[in-house]
């Protein structure tokens, strides 16, 4: 607050009118006049101080109001999903990962389904993703700002959570499998570059901000997401919404150079593909593809969309296509995430799916059914269009199925022995 000084003065007219009086009376009069003048002046100043004080109070009030508003906004944003909007803004500025230079060997390996994602740290995976966009000609053909591409990828990384399974490494694996399928099946000869951009971008974004608990949990626990999306693919809708919240930030919008029509197409295409990753729709999507595959028409937009949906589904659940050393740790990660969910479901009195129950599931039992009834039938349907995948993708799936069946036989035999042992012990006990 400003400190007020007291200006002390007598007006010229007053001094003139007093000049003819005797010096003593003059002085007394003058003093009285001065007193009045000072009193008035003080009163005025006091009034001003009071007004200023009120202004200060008003300012203080404003401060408090702003503080309150801020707190209110923060508390609203604290609800699970909005809080993460903070993450939507990239933490770091122009990223500094060019030091992660990819060797010729890495660049070659990246094109194959055998690529081992466990070997790389997040920054290296970011460099790999960046390389894929350049290598496929997407940066050049769509005039994507290379710095925006880096910032977008960093922002993507920051918006995956550290779940045991649904994390940034899973995002990377799915995208890398998409990239290797594009290379292996020469998809650039069949699809437009816009389709390739949609396939890659949907893969990158497909599990954004996954909370680590599946749709069944969301719906049964009546979570915020389930309520928001009316129980219809709550997670996939959320992944999609987060993806486009990121694109709404100019710093991260790799499509900023697109005309509105092209953006509309990329948005529609990406949404369709991300929503297709809901496994609840597996039968419906695969059936639709099976109906088209024997007379597949690359000129038919509906056929193309259906194929793209099946491709992202293949990549999403493609771990078992990879070499055993790469694939197997993912089963542990998935079971860890499942067990976390089933433990929580038990604690909250919600239904528990047997395939998530740590009391009921083992690695082989978890994998055999999935490989036999989900993976192989889907990849064998894709094989009809792309015979190239037989050796690189379908054969490894069959080998993995056989390996897990052997493991199950060993497990069963061990259990049998265990059972007999405990039976003998019980009988021994009875004899005594």
Q: How far is the CB of 203 from Zn ion (least distance, A)?
A: 9
238 is in an annotated binding site: no
207 is in an annotated binding site: yes
Indicate the residue among 207 and 320 with the shorter CB distance to Zn ion.
207
> Is residue 166 flagged as an active site residue?
yes
9 is in an annotated binding site: no
Measured in whole angstroms, the distance separating CA 64 from the mean position of its chain's CA atoms is 35
Torsion angle in degrees (nearest 10) through CA of 65, 66, 68, 70: 170
Interatomic CA distance for residues 227 and 280, integer angstroms: 18
Interatomic CA distance for residues 334 and 80, integer angstroms: 22
Q: How far is the CB of 119 from Zn ion (least distance, A)?
A: 20
Interatomic CA distance for residues 221 and 324, integer angstroms: 36
168 is in an annotated binding site: yes
Q: Is 356:342 a contact under the CB 8 Å cutoff? A: yes
Q: How far is the CB of 377 from Zn ion (least distance, A)?
A: 19
Q: How far is the CB of 317 from Zn ion (least distance, A)?
A: 8
373 is in an annotated binding site: no
From the CB of residue 273, how many other CB atoms can be counted at a distance below 10 Å? 25
Q: How far is the CB of 333 from Zn ion (least distance, A)?
A: 12
Indicate the residue among 234 and 303 with the shorter CB distance to Zn ion.
234
Interatomic CA distance for residues 238 and 373, integer angstroms: 28
Q: How far is the CB of 260 from Zn ion (least distance, A)?
A: 30
70 is in an annotated binding site: no
134 is in an annotated binding site: no
Catalytic, out of 20, 26, 157, 166: 166
Distances (CA, A) of 134 to 86, 139, 221, 311: 29, 5, 43, 21
Indicate the residue among 163 and 253 with the shorter CB distance to Zn ion.
163
Indicate the residue among 195 and 207 with the shorter CB distance to Zn ion.
207
169 is in an annotated binding site: yes
Indicate the residue among 150 and 206 with the shorter CB distance to Zn ion.
206
82-100 burial string, b = 16+ CB within 10 Å, else e?
eebeebbebeeeebebeeb
Indicate the residue among 45 and 279 with the shorter CB distance to Zn ion.
279
Q: How far is the CB of 174 from Zn ion (least distance, A)?
A: 6
Indicate the residue among 130 and 207 with the shorter CB distance to Zn ion.
207
166 is in an annotated binding site: yes
Residues that bind Zn ion (CB under 5 A): 207, 316
| Binding site, annotated residues | 166-170, 206-207, 316, 367
| Binding site, annotated residues for Zn(2+) | 170, 206-207, 316
| Binding site, annotated residues for AMP | 166-170, 207, 316, 367
Residue numbers annotated as active site: 166
């Amino acid at each position: 607050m400003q400190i007020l000084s007291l200006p002390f003065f007598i007006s010229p007219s007053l001094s003139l009118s007093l000049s003819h009086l005797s010096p003593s009376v003059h002085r007394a009069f003058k003093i009285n006049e001065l007193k009045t003048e000072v009193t008035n002046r003080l009163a005025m100043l006091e009034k001003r101080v009071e007004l200023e004080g009120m202004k200060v109070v008003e300012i203080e009030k404003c401060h408090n109001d702003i503080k309150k508003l801020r707190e209110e906004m923060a508390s609203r944003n604290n609800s699970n999903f909005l809080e993460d909007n903070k993450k939507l803004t990239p933490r770091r500025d122009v990223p500094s990962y060019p030091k992660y230079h990819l060797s010729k060997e890495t660049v070659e390996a990246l094109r194959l389904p055998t690529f081992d994602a466990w070997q790389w740290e997040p920054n290296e995976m970011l460099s790999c993703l960046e390389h894929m966009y350049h290598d496929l000609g997407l940066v050049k053909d769509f005039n994507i700002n290379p710095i925006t591409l880096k910032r977008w990828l960093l922002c993507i990384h920051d918006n995956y959570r550290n779940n045991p399974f649904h994390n940034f490494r899973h995002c990377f694996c799915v995208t890398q499998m998409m990239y290797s399928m594009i290379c292996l099946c020469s998809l650039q000869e069949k699809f437009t570059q816009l389709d390739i951009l949609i396939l890659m971008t949907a893969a990158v974004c497909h599990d954004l901000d996954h909370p680590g608990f599946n749709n069944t949990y969301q719906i049964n626990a009546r979570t915020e997401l389930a309520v928001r999306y009316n129980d219809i693919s709550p997670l996939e809708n959320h992944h999609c919404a987060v993806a486009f919240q990121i694109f709404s930030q100019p710093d991260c919008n790799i499509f900023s150079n697109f005309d509105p029509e092209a953006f509309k197409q990329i948005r529609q295409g990406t949404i369709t593909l991300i929503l297709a990753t809901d496994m609840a729709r597996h039968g419906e999507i695969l059936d639709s593809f099976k109906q088209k595959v024997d007379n597949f028409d690359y000129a038919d937009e509906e056929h193309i969309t259906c194929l793209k949906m099946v491709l992202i589904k293949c990549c999403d659940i493609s771990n078992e296509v990879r070499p055993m050393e790469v694939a197997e740790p993912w089963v542990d990660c998935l079971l860890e995430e499942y067990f976390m969910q089933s433990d929580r479901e038990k604690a909250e009195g919600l239904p528990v799916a047997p395939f998530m129950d740590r009391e009921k599931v083992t690695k082989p039992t978890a994998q055999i059914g999935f490989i036999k009834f989900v993976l192989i039938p889907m990849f064998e349907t894709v094989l009809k269009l792309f015979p190239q995948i037989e050796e690189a993708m379908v054969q490894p799936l069959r080998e993995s199925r056989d390996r897990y069946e052997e493991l199950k036989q060993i497990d069963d035999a061990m259990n049998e022995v265990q059972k007999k042992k405990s039976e003998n012990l019980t009988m021994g006990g009875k004899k005594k």
